[in-house]
């Protein structure tokens, strides 16, 4: 593929105008939207309004006047159509890790009601995102190994492990290293046949992959707001609970914002009805407002169009890179079949970190994942096909000229 062909794709791109919604540094090709999405103009304007007018002028009255109190539900409602859910099944609050704790607790509570004498098991994948495993490990320490056990297996052994009827199946749809995608519908159906509750982490899915959680009868899900949703560093995460499970939902982090009447200040806790009981403490209004504004970018697009473009961008990058023989020094660890991966690519190379730093110096932002992975994300709202072609050509030149061997590129930053 030539640059001219990539430019023709841009001319036909129905999402091309979305680029104007973002403030991106001149001369930078940002392939890191799968780690931290860029700031949009709407977010800048919203934060200015919240700080200067709502917080600055209206102060505490903004909880009512500007409906701060409703932001977790309102923002969750904007995410709902992106994941195939109803607005009252999604709430924004806390982080992915905290929300996972709440949902694992909820699933275990249902298990205890049904099988009070049975030991619970949490099944996950060995190369799942580490924080998900850390939270699950925490449960084994909190409740004791006699009550709950974490079992991890390889992807190849998942089906047989699910056949052993675990209590909870905890998986991430898109592998954060390789980009390989699980079939949520098929796995959820099979898990339910084994009487197993399912929790999906959608952090690398939401905003780019088609999701139909209600139709697929998913039990629980979490996802973050700062990757493809562009909600800003540390943006609140979201939780999804299937409506069929809301009436008996129990979770132990019983904060006042999950109370049925928080401003009655009753001594005893009474959970709110529905999804709102997953709230704990006071919502972080600045970051919640930023995420709420960022989601406006998705109001008039279909996830199918986002997905098609994301895969197209990655294909253009691969074709541009393949035009150089130097590309043979990289090992593609992502599925070559675009339909089997998310909106990212991973390459293995012993000098992957140095290559990522050399790319950054050339204006191409990527990231590194231990031990030897160069990772690139293809966010469809703001990237162009021509940019992805240039990024592939830049990587090829760095490999051909071995620029990454310069000593300064090997000095590790604290955040990689």
Domains of the chain in start order, with CATH, are 3-30+301-410 (3.90.1150.10), 49-298 (3.40.640.10)
* Beta strands at 238-241 and 120-125: parallel, antiparallel or unpaired: unpaired
Q: How far apart are CA 147 and CA 45, in angstroms?
A: 50
Active site residue 298: no
Asked if the model's pLDDT at residue 202 lies above 70, the reply is yes
22 by DSSP, 3-state: which? strand
Q: What is the mean pLDDT of residues 264-284?
A: 96
Q: Residue 326: pLDDT band by 50, 70, 90 thresholds?
A: confident
Q: What is the mean pLDDT of residues 211-236?
A: 98
Q: What is the mean pLDDT of residues 204-221?
A: 98
Pick the range with the lowest mean pLDDT from 26-30, 207-211, 215-219, 325-329: 325-329
Q: Which helix (H) or strand (E) holds 63?
A: helix 62-65
Under DSSP, the state recorded for 38 is P
pLDDT for position 29: 98
Active site residue 227: yes
Per annotation, catalytic residue among 46, 102, 177, 227: 227
pTM of the full structure: 0.96
Active site residue 129: yes
Q: What is the mean pLDDT of residues 285-304?
A: 97
List the structure tokens of 149: 């056990």
Q: What is the mean pLDDT of residues 31-53?
A: 98
Per annotation, catalytic residue among 375, 382, 390, 404: 375
CA distances from residue 138 to 108, 122, 223 in whole angstroms, order as listed: 14, 12, 20
pLDDT for position 94: 98
pLDDT for position 325: 80
Per annotation, catalytic residue among 201, 219, 292, 351: 201
Active site residue 18: no
Asked if the model's pLDDT at residue 54 lies above 80, the reply is yes
Q: What is the mean pLDDT of residues 154-173?
A: 97
Q: Which helix (H) or strand (E) holds 316?
A: helix 303-322
List the structure tokens of 215: 């139709």
Q: Residue 115: pLDDT band by 50, 70, 90 thresholds?
A: low
Active site residue 219: no
Cis ω on the peptide bond leading into residue 287 (within 30° of 0)? no
Beta bridge partners of 229: none
- Mean residue pLDDT of the chain comes to 96
């Amino acid at each position: 593929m030539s640059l001219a062909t990539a430019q023709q794709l841009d001319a036909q791109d129905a999402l091309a105008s979305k680029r104007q919604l973002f403030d991106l540094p001149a001369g930078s090709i940002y392939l890191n939207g799968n780690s931290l999405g860029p700031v949009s103009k709407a977010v800048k304007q919203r934060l200015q309004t919240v700080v200067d007018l709502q917080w600055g002028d209206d102060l505490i009255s903004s909880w009512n006047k500007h409906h701060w109190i409703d932001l977790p539900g309102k923002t969750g409602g904007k995410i709902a159509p992106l994941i195939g859910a109803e607005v009252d099944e999604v709430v924004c609050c806390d982080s992915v890790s905290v929300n996972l704790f709440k949902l694992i607790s909820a699933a275990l509570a249902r298990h205890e009601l049904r099988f009070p004498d049975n030991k619970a098991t949490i099944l996950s994948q060995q190369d799942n995102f580490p924080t998900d495993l850390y939270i699950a490990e925490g449960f084994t320490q909190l409740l004791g190994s006699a009550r709950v056990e974490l079992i991890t297996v390889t992807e190849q052994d998942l089906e047989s492990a699910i056949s052993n009827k675990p209590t909870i199946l905890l998986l991430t749809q898109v592998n954060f290293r390789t980009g390989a995608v699980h079939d949520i519908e098929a796995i959820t159906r099979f898990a339910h046949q084994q009487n197993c509750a399912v929790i999906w982490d959608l952090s690398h899915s939401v905003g780019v992959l088609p999701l139909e959680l209600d139709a697929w009868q998913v039990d629980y899900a979490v996802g973050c707001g700062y990757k493809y949703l562009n909600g800003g560093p540390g943006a609140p995460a979201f939780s999804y609970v299937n409506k069929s499970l809301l009436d008996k939902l129990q979770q132990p982090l019983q904060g006042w914002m999950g109370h049925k009447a928080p401003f009655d200040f009753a001594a005893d806790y009474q959970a709110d009805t529905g999804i709102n009981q997953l709230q704990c403490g006071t919502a972080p209004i600045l970051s919640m407002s930023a995420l709420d504004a960022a989601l406006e970018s998705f109001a008039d697009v279909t996830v199918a169009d986002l997905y098609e473009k994301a895969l197209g961008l990655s294909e253009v990058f691969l074709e541009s890179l393949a035009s150089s023989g130097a590309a043979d020094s990289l090992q593609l660890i992502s599925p070559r079949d675009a339909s089997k991966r998310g909106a990212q690519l991973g390459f293995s190379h012993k000098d992957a970190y140095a290559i990522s730093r050399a790319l950054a110096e050339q204006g191409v932002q990527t990231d590194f994942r231990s031990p030897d992975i160069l990772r690139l994300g293809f966010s469809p709202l703001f990237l162009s096909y021509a940019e992805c072609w240039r990024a592939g050509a830049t990587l090829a030149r760095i490999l051909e000229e071995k620029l990454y061997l310069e000593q300064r590129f090997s000095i590790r930053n604290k955040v990689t």
